[in-house]
Amino acid sequence: MRFVDEYRDADKARALSARIASLCEPGREYKFMEVCGGHTHTIYKHGLEDYLPETITLVHGPGCPVCVIPMGRVDDAIHIAEQPGVVMTSFGDMMRVPGGRGSFFDSKARGAEIRMVYSPLDALKVARQNPDRQVVFMAIGFETTAPSTAMTVLRAAAEGIGNFSVFCNHVTIIPAIKAILDSPDLRLDGFVGPGHVSTIIGCRPYEFIARDYGKPLVVAGFEPLDILQSIYMLLLQLAEGRSEVENQYSRVVPWQGNVRALRAISEVMELRPYFEWRGLGFISHSALRVRDRYAAHDAERIFQIPGGRVADPKACQCGEVLKGVLKPWECKVFGTACTPETPIGTCMVSSEGACAAYYNFGRFSRERVREATR
């Protein structure tokens, strides 16, 4: 395949659907988790659930980096942004994420200078142009975006740009998956593994899932046929009694990962002892912080931050959605009080959030469109 439309061929999708149905054991229910929020959006944008038998259920995991940021960290970032002489910079999908004191947009309305950027290098450019201001980059994301943050810190240090720092909220995917596997709330048959994260870390870190928990995992791409093929590969493993890590996204993901990117992360960052995840609580060694040698570019050391915990609104059930325990439409405020225009929880804000996917693509109930498989 060379062109995007080839990965969206309806005839090939129907053929894969038939092969998937042929592998399903009569009377058995299957539950697979797509870890990445990008997969969730592909599934509902293209109606892939309607190509699957009723006995296969897809649940979403904690693979949306914006969604898992707890409200307390948002408040800490707002506290930094509202300090005199600070310019806070952030990716666009963080601007509306609610904390206990509102969002970045609310803080901006109160007078804080908060700018939307497309990369940490844009934030470094702002620091060069404003040597009399402290420019802070709100660093979020899994291992996918951590290398760009690390490389920017290295460049700032090399160029002696002392007014640039990062507020590091990078998280790591493996401890979150392990927390889900250890949770009694959810029983899974396998995982559609994250594609973007795997371009950096490779496939080897997932091997414990198959070895220790007996669950197959297939790293998947983001086109409709990628995901359908990955589900077929999971079912084939189960039918053959295998439990392995396989790489469907081999056109992009190297088995060993991106060694140079991992080296950059290791140079600038180290694991935190623990970090709070929305919905999952505190998970040990699940996030990154700036190493001591680059403390001059660590906003957590430059500024006094409150570091408090903030409970989610009682009506919000993002935690259960992130763990795959609830479907978004099972949340009491989904599509009513909580919409992309008036979000209560992070899952409705982010472009990778499960609630936003369900809302934008019209999945408001359990009902499927059976015509797709005829």
Q: Determine the average pLDDT of the residues in 257-280.
A: 95
What's the whole-number mean pLDDT along residues 203-212? 97
The pLDDT, as a whole number, for residue 320 is 84
Do residues 220 and 192 make contact, with C-beta atoms less than 8 angstroms apart?
yes
> How many whole angstroms separate alpha carbon 247 and alpha carbon 216?
11
Categorize the per-residue pLDDT at 373 as very low, low, confident or very high, splitting at 50, 70 and 90: very low
The pLDDT score that the predictor gives to residue 1 is 64
Q: What integer best gives the mean pLDDT of the chain? A: 92
Rounded to 10 degrees, what is the CA torsion of 155, 159, 165, 169? 10
Q: What is the CA radius of gyration of the chain?
A: 21
Q: How confident is the model at residue 39 (pLDDT cuts 50, 70, 90)?
A: very high
Q: Is the pLDDT of residue 321 over 90?
A: no
What pLDDT is attached to residue 218?
98
263 CB-near residues (< 8 Å, 6+ apart): none
Distance separating alpha carbons of residues 232 and 276, to the nearest angstrom: 35
What tens digit of pLDDT does each residue of 74-92 get?
999 999 999 999 999 999 9
What is the C-alpha separation between 165 and 144, in angstroms, rounded? 20
pLDDT at 350 > cutoff 80: no
Please give the structure tokens belonging to residue 296. Answer: 């001059």
pLDDT of residue 340 exceeding 50, the answer is: yes
Residue 374 has a pLDDT of 43
**Over 50: is that where the pLDDT of 372 sits?**
no
The pLDDT value recorded for residue 185 is: 75
pLDDT per residue over 106-135, tens digit each?
A: 999 999 999 999 999 999 999 999 999 999
Mean pLDDT of 28-45: 93
- Taking the C-alpha atoms of residue 145 and residue 197, their distance in angstroms, rounded to an integer, is 9
Distance from first CA to last CA of the chain, Å, rounded? 26
Segment holding 247, helix H or strand E: strand 245-247
Mean pLDDT of 220-240: 97
Q: Residues 205-234: what's their mean pLDDT?
A: 97
Q: Look-up: residue for tokens 């190297």?
A: 254
pLDDT for residue 124: 98
Q: Note the pTM of the prediction, 2 decimals.
A: 0.90
Is the pLDDT higher at 190 or at 338?
A: 190
The rounded distance, in Å, linking the Cα atoms of 151 and 239 is: 44
